[in-house]
Amino acid sequence: MRLRRFLIIAAALLAAGCATQSSQEVLGSAAVTASVSDIVGNHAIFIATTRKRADDPNQGFDGDRSASLNYARVNVTVPKEHQVGQIERKSRGTSDDPSKYFMASQMVGYDASPKFQTALNADIAARGGRVIVFVHGYNTSFDDAVYRLAQIVNDSNYPGTPVLFSWASGASTTSYVYDRESASVARDQLEVTLRMLAQTGARRIDIVAHSMGTWVTMETLRQLAITGDRNLGGKLGDVVLASPDIDVDVFKSQMRRYGKPDKPFIVLLSDDDRALRLSGILAGSRPRLGDYKNADDLAQYGVSVVDLSSKQGTDAFNHNKFADNPEMVRLLGQRLREDDGFASDRQVTDRIRQLGMM
């Protein structure tokens, strides 16, 4: 019986994951040029990462861990024929064509945090003082993380500065344990990144975390609370936890330490999330936050639950609904675009919750 269960888990691991694997080259050669009319979006993605720089400059960063933070910026264009919720990537052997595919170019590295912060300040000032930090999940290569954030920003019409915090995922279905340990290593560096952002001209910092990235995020927020600065000097905006791969009891412990937030944290969950079901099996059949539907229980901790079980996802494991469901990503963008008025925030949150009931 144990052998059979192990084989089932192993087979699932070979098929599961948070990202679609690709060549892991984030930069293209731009073999085909495109006119401005062929491009629907052009996004500068700022990057803070615990990954090592890759030997291949087109890859940018690999899955190995760095002892210190690395910083970069990369520009990503989105083709006019883009469909909301999708990431159009070129297939192997296909020419780079910005009129058909997401394309990244002009990666700039920063050898010190002050230079990175100066570049951030300029962009934040130009975009009205808003920042979104995206923390990706398990089995995610660097290029997949970059393109996912570009897709979220593009489809949600987020007006602020996008910042990717990319921790050192092994980007393979069999690297779950490595990824979990890499997530632990990244906690302090995410804290450094958030504190850096709070020292810029940003007036509001929103966080969207996915899957295992929600655990990194919650651990970091817990650390901030312990130091007495849980709201980043009043600049912390929305915290969105999508398909959170966190043990429910661990999450409650984190929230008790953090305290009831001034604005409810938003948990996006779905009971048909097969990736989280697998994670629960690996954890000894313990429930994960991403499939825990007791909204009244979580409300005591200052958490608003949005159930997306009835909505259609595009990945085989229904693990990416927060970004690949067109209705959801648009409403999420509306939620994030709202200014600091809490009443309007609540109205949009109610519309997101109603989406899960349709």
- For position 256, what pLDDT does the model report? 98
pLDDT of residue 162: 98
Count of residues for the chain? 358
Greater model confidence, 61 or 4: 61
Per DSSP, 247 falls in state B
Which domains occur in the chain, in start order? 43-70+109-357 (3.40.50.1820)
Does residue 316 have a pLDDT over 80? Answer: no
pLDDT at residue 217 greater than cutoff 90 = yes
Q: What is the pLDDT of residues 150-166, one digit of tens each?
A: 999 999 999 999 999 99
- pTM (2 d.p.): 0.89
Mean pLDDT across the chain: 85
Q: Beta-carbon neighbour count of residue 134 at 10 Å?
A: 25
Q: Could you give the CA distance from residue 24 to residue 75 in angstroms, rounded to a whole number? A: 16
Angle formed at CA 350 by CA 322 and CA 218, multiple of 5 degrees: 50
Phi, psi of 341 (to 5 degrees): -75, 120
